[in-house]
Amino acid sequence: MKIAVCVKQVPDTWAEKKLRADDSTLDRESADGVMNELDEYAVEEALRIVEAGEGEVTIVTMGPERASETVRKALSMGADAGVHLVDDALHGSDALATSEALAKVLSGRGFDLILFGSESTDARMSVVPAMVAERLGVAQLTFAQKVTVSGGAITIERATDYGYDTVEAATPAVVSVVEKINEPRYPSFKGIMAAKKKPVETISVADAGIDQSVIGASAAWSAVVDFAVRLPKAAGTVVTDEGDGGVKIAEFLSAQKFI
């Protein structure tokens, strides 16, 4: 089975995130880049599927030069190869443009299964997998907490508020995963060394046949028109109990209209 996993490099979850003053896009330089957490689960699931049967796992990313670190991390977990779409023209792309670019990179490579995380931790649109499936004209099985592959069929348990739905589709298909699905492995030392020799194809917008007019900030359907920096947290109110603590708390809650 030929599997692709789309992974995104995002600013470290714990880093203070900032927007750039010049174009209101996310400042990716000021924080360390890491693999989007949910994408680690997607990589893990792809590796498990291949280990239980046969096939190969290709990592696909769209992002600046340093997003190649994220591809290497997935390779050190055990994936076989990578494709990195990198081009200044992609800067400022919205979800529609991102899905168009990824679909162009994925198309024609003969993937049976294309795995995604279900949401990125930086933009959190949670729409790219569905958009890519639509553009490729293949089934979308989203929010998978379990994936079973049998011949040409993919069956998932789709996480819902009330439990799960069992959904099935024929390959090729797009699947997005939630964190309940597995426990991602840590790259081993051997895996890190092996990853250095694995092939990573670096391609540009022109190489992928992407129409320049539908990507980048100028083509985005939405834009950040204004933003404000979050105010520092105000110090809390300390109530000193001098025998009247209960009354003071009740007065405070009443003043805040909690009671």
Ligand X SMILES: Cc1cc2nc3c(=O)[nH]c(=O)nc-3n(C[C@H](O)[C@H](O)[C@H](O)COP(=O)(O)OP(=O)(O)OC[C@H]3O[C@@H](n4cnc5c(N)ncnc54)[C@H](O)[C@@H]3O)c2cc1C
Looking at residues 37 to 76 of the shown chain, list those that interact with ligand X (rule: CB under 6 A): 38-39, 61-63
Residue ranges in 197-256 that form contacts with ligand X under rule CB under 6 A: 217, 220, 222-224
Instruction: Report in angstroms how near the CB of residue 59 gets to ligand X at its nearest.
Output: 9
Indicate the residue among 192 and 217 with the shorter CB distance to ligand X: 217
SS3 100: helix
* Residue 165 beta carbon to ligand X: minimum distance, rounded to whole angstroms: 20
Phi and psi torsions of 124, nearest 5°: 55, 40
Q: Please, which of residues 73-92 interact with ligand X by CB under 6 A?
A: 92
Of the two residues 102 and 181, which places its CB atom closer to ligand X in the complex?
A: 102
Buried b (16+ CB within 10 A) or exposed e, 54-73: ebebbbbbbbbeebbebbbb
The phi and psi torsions of 156 (rounded to 5 degrees) equal -125, 155
237: number of Cβ within 10 Å: 10
Q: Based on CB atoms, which residue is closest to ligand X, 130 or 249?
A: 130
| Nearest-CB residue for ligand X | 117
The smaller minimum CB distance to ligand X, of residues 92 and 191, is found at 92
Q: How many helices (H) and strands (E) does the chain have?
A: 6, 11
Contact flags string 151-190 toward ligand X, x per CB under 6 A = ----------------------------------------
**65 vs 241, beta carbon nearer ligand X:** 65
d(CA 154, CA 175): 9
Contacts of 200 (CB under 8 A, 6+ apart): 68, 71, 72, 75, 81, 82, 83, 84
Per CB under 6 A, contacts with ligand X among 125-144 are 125-129
Over the window 4 to 43, marking each residue x when it contacts ligand X by CB under 6 A and - when it does not, the resulting string is: --xxx----------------x----------x-xx----
What phi, psi does 226 have (nearest 5°)? -160, 155
Rounded Cα distance between 213 and 229, Å, is: 32
Is residue 147 at the binding interface for ligand X, with CB under 6 A as the rule? no
Whole-number Å distance between alpha carbons of 109 and 126 = 24
Minimum distance from residue 117 beta carbon to ligand X (Å)? 3
CA distance 203 to 82: 11
What DSSP state is assigned to residue 184? P
* CB nearer ligand X, residue 124 or residue 197: 124
- What is the smallest separation between the CB atom of 71 and ligand X, expressed in angstroms? 10
Report the interface residues with ligand X, using CB under 6 A.
Answer: 6-8, 25, 36, 38-39, 61-63, 92-95, 98, 102, 116-117, 119-120, 123-129, 217, 220, 222-224
